Amino acid sequence: MTEIKDEEIKSVDKDGKIKFVEFELVEDLQDFIAASSDVQIEEDLKGEINKIILGTLVKVEMEIGSPTKIISVKEVDEDLIAREIN
């Protein structure tokens, strides 16, 4: 029987930081960045996120340690689905 690996949406790296992958609409991410006191994000990345139009589904990679850091954001299309979900 295949062992089920508990690879949920998080993994733990060697420094003990937890990585999350989240899929959400860009406006939810923008709200989170605006409202959270603990989020860390590069200004360039923040600028890119603010250019993504309302209602776009994005894949967000985050690192939870202290603080929560947004590592990357990618717009989801069928190519990304084919590469990363199937």
Partner 1 sequence: MVSVKFDYRIICDNNFLKWLSKYPNKNRLISHLMHIKISSLDHRKEHNIILESEAKKAIENRIFKNKQAIGTCFKIIEDPEFLNSHKDETTKTIFYAIFLANSKPYRTYIFTADDKITEYKKNPHYNNLKSVTVKSGEDAIRILESYYLDFTREREFQREYKKK
- Catalog residues that contact partner 1 under the rule CB under 8 A: 1-2, 4-9, 21, 23-25, 27-28, 31, 53-55, 57, 76-78, 81-82, 85-86
* Calpha distance 69→85 (Å, rounded): 23
DSSP H helices, 1-86, are 26-35, 43-51, 78-84
Q: How far is the CB of 73 from partner 1 (least distance, A)?
A: 14
Which is nearer to partner 1, 14 or 54 (by Cβ)? Answer: 54
Which is nearer to partner 1, 21 or 45 (by Cβ)? Answer: 21
Q: How far is the CB of 4 from partner 1 (least distance, A)?
A: 5
Q: Is 74 helix (H, G, I), strand (E, B) or coil?
A: strand
Q: How far is the CB of 14 from partner 1 (least distance, A)?
A: 20
Q: Evaluate whether 71 touches 61 at the Cβ level (below 8 Å).
A: yes
Q: Evaluate whether 18 touches 8 at the Cβ level (below 8 Å).
A: no
